[in-house]
Amino acid sequence: MDYVPHSQIPGHKSRQTGAVSLKGIKKQFNFKDRELKVLSEFSLDVQPGEFVSIVGPSGCGKSTLLRLIAGLDDTYDGTITLDGQRVAGTSLERGLVFQDHRLFPWMTLEDNIGLALTNRNIPKDAKAKLVADHIALVGLKGFEKAFPHQLSGGMAQRAAIARSLVNEPKVLLLDEPFGALDALTRVHLQTELQRIWLAQGSTMIMITHDVEEALYLGDRVVVMQANPGRITHTVDVNLPHPRDRASPVLHKLKDEILAELTHVPEPSNPVVRLIKGDDQ
């Protein structure tokens, strides 16, 4: 794989931990006496500190996949490991941002973020500092005492990102984190997320419906198809971060992925590596 390791990308804090490995994941739901195959033979290796974007049609099992990695659902076949350790249940090492912000409406912003620290055995003032630092990190200083209904959609989503980052997870899973936002807010939050990723160096796996977003942020874009959910393409995006949105390489890759997503894939050729764009 001729893909540039993160240690070589300028500005990226290199990490030795945060390798996620998915091997032969099979997941099915029993729905009205029928077995619904949601994921079939899903395998993916994510390097420490890598940013992987996942795109795919609605219902192909993307959210299900993230829930399995997060440990919210333990009923599946196959193995999921983080740094060689099999995942079991939830852990503070694996953070998850849901599509909806899921802040508790009766808690202030700082209490919502503080909730993520209730299982940490650290002094109170250290917790308060972590909360304040992460509120500043997502640019919400001054809103510590605001309730979620007093925040705009974009602000609430940033608060949710701050909450998921406060434990400095080795891997952050993002399920369409900007899906409900307007185009302008999305662009800003993408830049923010990239800045945070470069600063923290954690592994990120992000689901999105937006191919442009997937390419702008991802070191790799994984394309899925439905029934059952599986990987049909993997696209390496060999450009340094932060990227130029207008890059012709991104545009070329976008056209290819869109063509793939709007096409019925050939089952005989499940994994096709698309050509990687030359640097600049």
Partner 1 sequence: MKPDHLNLPPRLRGGRTAKRWEGQTLPASAPSVADKPRHLPRKQGRRISWKPILSIGSPLLLLIVWQAVTAFKLFPPEVLVSPTAVIAAFGEVITTGELQRHLSESLTRLAGGFTIGASLGLLFGLALALSKTVERLFGPTFQALRQVPVLAFIPMLILLLGIDEVFKIVIIAKAAFFPVALAAYDSVKGVPKSYFEVSSLYRAPWWVLISKILIPATVPNILAGVRLSLTRAWLVLVAAELIVADSGLGQMMEMGRQMFRLDIVMVGVIVAGVIGFALDRLFQLLQAHALRWKTA
Ligand X SMILES: Nc1ncnc2c1ncn2[C@@H]1O[C@H](COP(=O)(O)OP(=O)(O)OP(=O)(O)O)[C@@H](O)[C@H]1O
Residue 72 in contact with ligand X, rule: CB under 6 A:
no
Decide which of Mg ion, ligand X, partner 1, none touches 61; Cβ closer than 5 to 8 Å per partner kind: ligand X
Short-list 106, 131, 133, CA closest to 116? 131
Residue 31 sits in the site that holds ligand X (CB under 6 A): yes
Strand boundaries in the chain, DSSP class E:
20-31, 34-46, 51-55, 77-82, 85-86, 94-97, 171-175, 203-207, 220-225, 230-236, 272-273
- Give the nearest distance from C-beta 45 to partner 1 in angstroms: 24
63 in contact with ligand X (CB under 6 A) = yes
Q: Is 59 in the site for ligand X (CB under 6 A)?
A: yes
Query: At its nearest, how many Å lie between Mg ion and the CB of residue 155?
Result: 22
Other beta carbons within 10 angstroms of residue 9's beta carbon come to 15
75 part of the interface to ligand X, by CB under 6 A: no
Q: Exactly one of 17, 21, 43, 63 binds Mg ion (CB under 5 A); which one? A: 63
- Is residue 225 part of the contact set for ligand X (CB under 6 A)? no
The whole-angstrom separation of Cα 278 and Cα 123 is 50
Q: Is 121 in the site for ligand X (CB under 6 A)?
A: no
Nearest Cα neighbor of 149 from 91, 101, 199, 98 is: 101
- Please pick, from the candidates 60, 138, 172, 181, the single residue that binds ligand X as defined by CB under 6 A: 60
Site for ligand X, rule CB under 6 A:
29, 31, 36, 38, 58-64
